Every structure is written in C-alpha cells, then in structure tokens.
C-alpha cells in the first residue's frame, strides 16, 4: 500500500496570500523584419573574406512571422500561436481562448522566453519538458469531447504531471476544479511559484505519486496525464466518473507511445488509440 498523497497547497487562499515575486516580462519588441515564413535580416559583422561587401544576411527561421517594426506584447504573439493551433486543426473555441489567455512565457526559464510561443516542447528542469502547445490543445480538446462533458466547463479534473504548471493554468479556465499531482518536489515547488501570480483559486497542487491518482478528489469528470507508462493505472480508471474521459500517453509497442482515450460508461470502459506522441515516462514514487 502506497503512502497517501500529501496535498501541500490545497487551500485556495494560499495562492494569493504570499507576496508575488517579480518575474521577467516578455520582450517588448521582437526584432523580426518580415511576415514571411523565413525572412532575411541584415546584421552587422566583419566582411566575409570571399565577399565584396561588409554586410551579412542571416536567415531567420519562421518563428512568429510578425509584421515589421511592430511593438509586440505577449498577447499578440499568443494570438498568433492560437491562429496556428486553429490552422493545425484545433477547433474548440474554449480551448483556443484559454491558450490565448495563459502566458506560457511565465512558465519557462528566462533564456527560453523567446521560444515560449513556438510549437515546441521546452525543458523545465530535472529532465522534464513542457509539452508543445499543439499537444496541450489537442489533449484538452479531446477531454472536452467526452460524451459526458458539458458544453460549459468540465467539473473536477485530475492532472498527472504538474511539471511547470502551465497546463494546469490552462485547465483552470476549462474546469471548475483542477487537482494536479507532481512526483518531483523541485517541479512541484516551481509550479507553485509559477502559478502564484495567477491566483488560481481552483487549482490544487499536490506532491505525490500520481500513479495512485488522488482518491480524495474523485470521481473526476476528466483525467489527463502528461507522462506515459506501459498501461493506464487502474486507480485512474477507478477515480474517473461514469461519463468521464481520460486522455493519456501510453506505450503501445516497445518504446512507441500513442495518445490513448478512455471513456467510462455505465456499460464499461472503451479505449481508443490515437496518434503517436513523445512524452516523458510515467514513474512511480516521489523524488
């Protein structure tokens, strides 16, 4: 029998109670030259020995494709990210709105802030990663498409793998209550710090082994995991409400991982295997 989870930040008031640490802001201005997929930027530098001119031209990857000289705050860059998500097939307006609201750059290290709105996973420390926006949006959309899901907000949701807390913040807009578990103390603390400024009274951060779920909050309208194991732990299925949906990565053959959707009905549980994904491993115990 595993030791019970210890909720260390369950009192909503605690989130807002402490002084809010000043975090670095988003760069006010992105120095991009053109809105084309790949722009050429003039840079200063020494003349290339084989070239007559002293001007270098550097290829700029298609990052945000924003118009020239526009002073940009992070809202504009997020709007652009949301447009891309929609173009990639995410159609749930509530998911897109939530992704447009939550400041992803506040959840990554200062050195990675410029990449915060690219469709890429990023390191968050201790060998873990924040999933790319497209994967977060896809999983949240799938959660909301469960048969028992209301048109409005989901009820109580369990998240396994808090990581930096980003997805929990997005979930906070889509669900009435979010219980999010992390097994690494360092990341649990980091998420708590990251989320403090957001003052999300409906997010409950828990330190513990998410493989056993969190029975005290059950039954859950939805369960979402950000780490993949060999199978879906029985505790998750038990703690899912009838009519609820679970979305998680799972190994399907050897090391290949796929997104799996479980729907729990009065008749039983159905499992649907979707596209291939690459999540960090689901591990037992805490550290």
Binding site for ligand SAH (CB under 6 A): 124, 128-131, 160-161, 163-164, 166-167, 181-184, 187, 209-211, 226-227, 280, 282-284
Give least dist CB 282 to ligand SAH, A.
4
**Please, which residue, 183 or 245, has the CB nearer to ligand SAH?**
183
Q: Which of 131, 149, 180, 287 is catalytic?
A: 131
**Token pair 């940009």 in the structure block, residue:** 72
Give least dist CB 124 to ligand SAH, A.
6
Q: Which long-range contacts (CB under 8 A, 24 or more apart) does 89-96 make?
A: 90/134, 90/137, 90/138, 90/141, 91/141, 92/137, 92/140, 92/141, 92/144, 92/145, 94/144, 94/173, 94/174, 95/137, 95/140, 95/141, 95/144, 95/170, 95/174, 96/137
Cα–Cα distance, 36 to 163 (Å, whole number): 34
**Please, which residue, 226 or 277, has the CB nearer to ligand SAH?**
226
Give least dist CB 224 to ligand SAH, A.
8
Give least dist CB 111 to ligand SAH, A.
17
**Please, which residue, 265 or 284, has the CB nearer to ligand SAH?**
284
Cα–Cα distance, 194 to 88 (Å, whole number): 28
**Please, which residue, 82 or 248, has the CB nearer to ligand SAH?**
248
- Is 284 designated active site? no
Continuous segment of H or E residues that includes residue 16: helix 12-17
Write out the catalytic residue numbers.
Answer: 131
């Amino acid at each position: 029998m595993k030791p019970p989870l210890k909720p260390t930040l369950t009192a909503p008031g605690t989130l807002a109670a402490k002084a809010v640490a000043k975090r670095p802001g988003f760069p006010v201005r992105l120095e991009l030259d053109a809105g084309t997929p790949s722009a050429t930027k003039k840079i200063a530098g020494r003349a290339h020995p084989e070239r007559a001119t002293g001007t270098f031209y550097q290829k700029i990857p298609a990052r945000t494709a924003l118009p020239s000289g526009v002073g940009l705050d992070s809202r504009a860059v997020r709007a652009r990210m949301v447009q891309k998500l929609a173009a990639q097939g995410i159609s749930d307006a509530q998911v897109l709105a939530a992704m447009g609201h939550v400041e992803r750059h506040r959840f990554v290290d200062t050195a990675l802030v410029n990449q915060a709105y690219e469709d890429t996973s990023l390191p968050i420390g201790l060998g873990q990663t924040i999933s790319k926006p497209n994967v977060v949006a896809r999983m949240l959309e799938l959660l909301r498409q469960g048969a028992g899901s209301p048109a409005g907000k989901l009820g109580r949701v369990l998240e396994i793998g808090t990581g930096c807390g980003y997805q929990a913040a997005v979930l906070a807009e889509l669900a009435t209550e979010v219980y999010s578990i992390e097994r690494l103390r360092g990341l649990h603390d980091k998420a708590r710090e990251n989320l403090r400024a957001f003052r999300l009274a409906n997010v409950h951060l828990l330190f513990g082994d998410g493989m056993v779920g969190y029975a005290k909050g059950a039954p859950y309208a939805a369960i979402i995991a950000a780490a993949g194991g060999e199978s879906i732990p029985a505790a998750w299925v038990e703690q899912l409400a009838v009519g609820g949906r679970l979305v998680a990565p799972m190994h399907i053959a050897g090391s290949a991982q796929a997104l799996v959707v479980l729907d729990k009905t009065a008749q039983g549980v159905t499992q649907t295997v979707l596209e291939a994904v690459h999540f960090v491993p689901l591990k037992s115990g805490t550290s």
